[in-house]
Amino acid sequence: MANQANVNQASILQEILGLESSPVAVKFLTEATALDGFRLAEKSRYCQALMRARRGESVYLTPDEITCPASARALGFKSPPEKLLSGEMPAAYGLFGSAMAASRTVGDMPVLEMGKYKAVALAPLAAAPFEADVVVVEAKAEQVMWLALASMFTTGGRRTFSTGVLQATCVDATIVPFLSGEVNMSMGCYGCREATDMAPEEAIIGIPGRKLAEVVSSLERLGEKALPRVRSKTVYEMYRSQTGSGGQSRSK
């Protein structure tokens, strides 16, 4: 049975932002027992399991089924191959100018304790029966921007986001928020953009589960005034009518 708070929060996120896919609730499991209503994501990368959850499936991923060595290491599921740690593998893909640069990036990745978790469950937020460890939203950059602003609506200041432009879904949007307790955003990476349906204009953000209610509440406040005003493009349209410059608004 879905958690009612999850249902309500998912509805608010969808309505205010106009999301084209579901926010995803992520839960780390210390036992690999099947959850009611969840399907095993067979032979899947983490980013692909996340994609399936965005599209409405409830799935779980285990060390036996995960196919990406980088995310397997990050989730504490499997020890990494030497070619990953040495940087040889990422450099061979043309992602870095040298194996040394790639190795430095891989070495800086936050990872979960090896063997601590036996599975990870992912579900559309509205269907998740658990309180999420992390909620991941993959959406257009403008929609992600509002969530980032909502995360600092009551505190102000500045947000510093951590990314290696590598392992965007598993590390940037999931593990970093889980370990740090802070919202983290990423522009995507080679892996998730090649292996999933992530669109060129989309970005991704991870919200610690315990902060979701605060972020959603702040988003509601933003939705009262700031968000609709920005989307109306009033100032741009005024400028365009006065100067004849700027062409057609790309938001329409």
| pLDDT tens-place string over residues 189-213 | 999 999 999 999 999 999 999 999 9
pLDDT in tens, 208-218: 999 999 999 99
Give the pLDDT band of residue 245 (cuts 50, 70, 90): confident
pLDDT score of 252: 47
Banded pLDDT at 8 (limits 50, 70, 90):
very high
- CA end-to-end span of the chain, whole Å? 39
pLDDT of residue 248: 60
- Surface-to-core class of residue 160, CB atoms within 10 Å of its CB (0-12 exposed, 13-18 middle, 19+ buried): exposed
The confidence score (pLDDT) of residue 32 equals 85
The answer to whether residue 34 scores a pLDDT higher than 80 is: no
pLDDT per residue as tens digits for the range 47-83? 999 999 999 999 999 999 999 999 999 999 999 999 9
Question: For residues 45 and 65, what is the distance between their CA atoms, to the nearest angstrom?
Answer: 8
Alpha carbon distance 138, 30 (integer Å): 26
At 221, the amino acid letter reads R
pLDDT of residue 33: 82
Say what the pTM is.
Answer: 0.94
Asked whether the predicted pLDDT for residue 249 surpasses 70, the reply is no
